[in-house]
Amino acid sequence: MALYDKTAHELHELLTAKKISATELTADVFARVDEVEDKIGAYLTITRDKATADAKLVDDKIARGEEIAPLEGIPCAVKDNICTKGIRTTCASKILENFIPPYDATAYKKLSAQNPILIGKTNLDEFAMGGSTENSAFHVTRNPHNLERVPGGSSGGSAAAVAGGEAIFSLGSDTGGSIRQPASFCGVVGFKPTYGRVSRYGLVAFASSLDQIGSFTRDVTDCALVLNAICGQDDMDSTSTAAQVPDFTKALVADVKGLKIGLPKEYFVKGIDAEVETAIHNVAKKFESLGAEIVDVSLPHTEYAISTYYLIAPAEAATNLERYDGVSYGARVDGADVVEMMTNTRTEKFGAEVKRRIMIGNYALSAGYYDAYYLKALKVRTLIQKDFTDAFKNLDLILTPTTPNAAFKLGEMTSDPLTMYLQDICTVPVNIAGLPGVSIPCGFTNDKLPLGFQLIGKALDEATILRAAFAYESNL
Q: What is the pLDDT along the chain (476 residues), one digit of tens a residue?
A: 699 999 999 999 999 999 999 999 999 999 999 999 999 999 999 999 999 999 999 999 999 999 999 999 999 999 999 999 999 999 999 999 999 999 999 999 999 999 999 999 999 999 999 999 999 999 999 999 999 999 999 999 999 999 999 999 999 999 999 999 999 999 999 999 999 999 999 999 999 999 999 999 999 999 999 999 999 999 999 999 999 999 999 999 999 999 999 999 999 977 899 999 999 999 999 999 999 999 999 999 999 999 999 999 999 999 999 999 999 889 999 999 999 999 999 999 999 999 999 999 999 999 889 999 999 999 999 999 999 999 999 999 999 999 999 999 999 998 888 788 888 999 999 999 999 999 999 999 999 999 999 999 999 999 999 999 999 999 98
Distances (CA, A) of 9 to 15, 30, 170, 243, 250: 10, 19, 14, 27, 14
This prediction has a pTM of 0.97
Number of domains in the chain: 1
Is the dihedral angle over the CA atoms 124, 130, 133, 136 positive or is it negative?
negative
Instruction: Look up residue 114 and give its DSSP letter.
Output: T
Catalytic residue numbers, as ranges: 79, 154, 178
> Does any domain span residue 210?
yes
Instruction: Check if the beta carbon of residue 332 is closer than 8 Å to that of residue 108.
Output: no
Which spans in 305-370 are helix H? 305-320, 338-349, 352-365
> Does any domain span residue 400?
no
Instruction: Check if the beta carbon of residue 137 is closer than 8 Å to that of residue 117.
Output: no
- Does 328 sit behind a cis peptide bond, omega within 30 degrees of 0 on the bond before it? no
Bridge partners for 441 per DSSP: 452
> Does any domain span residue 425?
no
> Does any domain span residue 119?
yes
The DSSP element (H or E) to which 76 belongs, if any, is: strand 75-79
Structural domain for 56, as ranges: 3-251
> Does any domain span residue 308?
no
Looking at residue 417, its pLDDT comes to 82
The DSSP element (H or E) to which 260 belongs, if any, is: strand 260-264
Instruction: Check if the beta carbon of residue 436 is closer than 8 Å to that of residue 231.
Output: no
Looking at residue 137, its pLDDT comes to 98
> Does any domain span residue 376?
no
Instruction: Provide the CATH number for the domain around residue 68.
Output: 3.90.1300.10
366 by Cβ neighbours in 10 Å (0-12 / 13-18 / 19+) ranks as exposed
